[in-house]
Amino acid sequence: MSVCDDVISCAKKLGIDECESVVCARKIITVRITDSEIAEIKENYEKSLGIRLIHGKRISSCQSTILEPVKLVDAAFRSSQNLTKRDFWKSLPAGTKTDVNIQKTNDQKIWQLESSGAADIAQQMINSASHQKITRISGSLNIVCEEFELQNTSQLNKHDKATYVSGIINADSEHGIPVSGIGQASSRTLADFDAERVGTEAAQMCVNSINPQSCEAGTSTIIFEPLAVGELLSFVFTPNFSLKTYSEKRSCFSEKIGAQISVADFSLLDDPHATNRLGSKSFDDEGTPTKVTQYVHNGIFENTYSDSYNAFKEGTVSSGNACRPGSPLGRSSAPIPISAPHNLTIKAGTTSRDDIIKDTKNGILISRLWYTYAVNPIKGDFSCTARSGNWIIKDGQISTPAKSVRIIHSLPRLLQNISAIANNQRTVLSWAAMPVTAPSIRCENIPVVPI
C-alpha cells in the first residue's frame, strides 16, 4: 500500500466525511551561474505529503515531509473542530478514466541525468553568451523530475510522472550606460531544450542595447516581444479571468462575459494538452480532467477558470484549474490548491514579426519588462518598466537602441488597441509566475514616459 492508501484508510476509520491525500516526490538539480561561471550545483531529493479533510463542511489540512499518515490525519481532524463551516462545499472529484494522453511530458533521459550533465548544459549557456562587450553573465538552470500521486475518498486515484527543464541567462554590459539582455528556454524533454539559444539571445539583446538613445514622451506605437507579453500575461491579464476575482467584482472584466473586450483578432486560451509545455497535464491537481478553455475568443470574453472550492462557492463546477505549484517547477503536495491556468496562451497571428516591424512607421520595440504590476486592478490600470532591450523604430526599420521608459496604461484600452499579432509564438516563464505562451504583439497609443 502507498502512503496515500494509508491516509485514506485512516480517514475512513475515523469516520471523516471526505479526505484527499497528495504525495509528491521530486529530484531537483539547480545550477546557479554568477560572475560568468558556475557558482553552485545543488541536487536535492524531497518527498512530502499533503492532506485535506472535509468533515461537517469544515475544511482542514496538514502537510509534512515526515510521512506519518496516522499522526497527520489525526492532527488535521482535531484542528477542523475550530473552523467555520463552508456550507457551499459539495464534494471532492470522483474517480474517472478520461485522462488525455499528452506527448512529451516525461523524459527518461532527464531522470537519468546527473549533476555533471546538468553542469555541462549550464556551461553551454554561459559559453554561448560570452562576448567581448559583455561584462558579466548570471543565471540558472533548473531540472526537475517528479512523481505525483493523488487519492481521495471518492474513489479517485491518480498518478503522474513528469520532467521539466528551464534555463535563464542574464548578460550585462557596462560599455557606457549599463544595459542587459535576457535569454530563456524551457522544455519537458532534454532533446528539445536549446541551451545555446538561451545564451545567444541574452548576448544579442545586451550587445544590441549598448549606447541607447532617449525616447520622446507621449503616446507611441509599441511592439511587445514574447518575453514582454509574458510579463503582462502573468501579472496583469491572468487575475482578471479567475472566477473568484470575477465574482467578487475585482476583475476589470466583471459582468462582461459575452461582451467584446478586445479586437476581433485576439484570442486567449488555456491549453493544458499542448505538447512539451511546462503546464501540460491530463488532470488538474485535484484530479479533475483538464480541458482546452477559451477565455477570450475572437475578442469575446467567454470563460473564467476555477478550482472546486471557488466553483462551489459560486454555485458552479470546477473548470479543471486546481493547481499545487512546485518550486522551481512542476507540482507540489500543498494540501490546499489554488486556481490558475495551466498553459495560458495567446493565439498566434499569421504575420511575421519582421513584417510587423516593416509595417510600423514609428514606434518602440520592447523585448522585456520589469516591475509589472496592477495599479488599480478593478479598472485594469497597470504599470511596468522597460529598462533594456528596447529599440526605436523609424520608417519600418529598427534604428537605435532606446533608453528606459515607464508605461502606465489600462488593460481594457490596450486590448482594444492591438493592431497586429505575430506568428512567433513561444513559451516564457516570468519570475514567480506560471508558464505562458505568447507571440509579439503591436499596440497603438501607448503612453510612454522616458526615465
246-269 pLDDT per residue, tens = 999 999 999 999 999 999 999 999
pLDDT beyond 90 at 431: no
Cα-based distances in Å from 387 to 91, 206, 405: 48, 11, 7
- For the cut 70, the answer to whether the pLDDT of residue 204 exceeds it is yes
Mean pLDDT of 257-286: 97
- Read off the pLDDT band of 434 (50, 70, 90): confident
pLDDT in tens, 133-164: 999 999 999 999 999 999 999 999 999 999 99
The predicted pLDDT at position 1 comes to 56
- In percent, the amount of the chain with pLDDT more than 70 equals 100
Q: What is the mean pLDDT of residues 93-99?
A: 81
* Alpha carbon distance 372, 402 (integer Å): 19
Kindly tell me if the per-residue pLDDT of 236 is higher than 70: yes
Q: Which domains does the chain have, with CATH numbers?
A: 3-207 (3.30.2290.10), 218-450 (no CATH)
Task: Share the mean pLDDT of the chain.
Answer: 96
Q: Would you state the pLDDT for residue 168?
A: 97
Measured distance CA(300)–CA(380) in Å, rounded: 17
What pTM, to 2 d.p., does this model score? 0.95
Beta 362-366 vs 218-224: how paired, if at all? parallel
